[in-house]
Amino acid sequence: MYGDTFDILDWNTLSGMFDIENLPSPPDVQYWDTSNLYVTGENTFVVPCLNWDMNCDGCTNLADYSKLALHWLDGPCSEENWFCDGSDLDKSGTVDYGDIEILIDHWLQGCQ
Ligand SMILES: [Ca+2]
Ligand SMILES: [Ca+2]
């Protein structure tokens, strides 16, 4: 699940490395972050923050809608204001129906 970290190794003295790291392939854009495997012995399951997942929790739901509603009809949205704090999903310059459509198209995506 999103952000889960698995502590798979513990050691007193670390030497050597695995020849092969064989992890289950996650779907879509998700991936395993193995950068801490030889530091803390942990692998983390990562889901990149997609632009319609405005609070980056891996799920498109009411929390994201609330953020969009907070900025409803705000504009002009641009790179200078991070497209109205990420609420102008289609980068049209205004937080409007086009952004709601994107949110609806991805509604409950990633939610368990
Ligand atoms: Ca979210
Ligand atoms: Ca827009």
Q: What 3-state class would DSSP assign to 5?
A: strand
Find the ligand nearest to 89 CA.
2
30 and 58 co-located in one domain: no
Q: In percent, how much of the chain has pLDDT > 90? A: 39
40 and 62 co-located in one domain: no
Q: Which of 19-33, 39-53, 72-86 has the lowest mean pLDDT?
A: 19-33
Integer CA distances (angstroms), 25 to 44, 48, 97, 108, in order: 13, 15, 36, 22
Q: Tell me the CA–centroid distance for residue 74 and ligand 1, in Å.
A: 20
Residue with the bigger pLDDT between 19 and 103: it is: 103
Q: Tell me the CA–centroid distance for residue 103 and ligand 1, in Å.
A: 10
pTM exceeds 0.75: no
Domain encompassing residue 21 = 1-48
Q: Looking at the 3D structure of the chain, how many domains does it have?
A: 2
Give the model confidence (pLDDT) of 29-50 as tens digits.
567 888 888 888 888 877 667 7
59 and 37 co-located in one domain: no
Q: Tell me the CA–centroid distance for residue 108 and ligand 1, in Å.
A: 9
Q: Tell me the CA–centroid distance for residue 102 and ligand 2, in Å.
A: 9
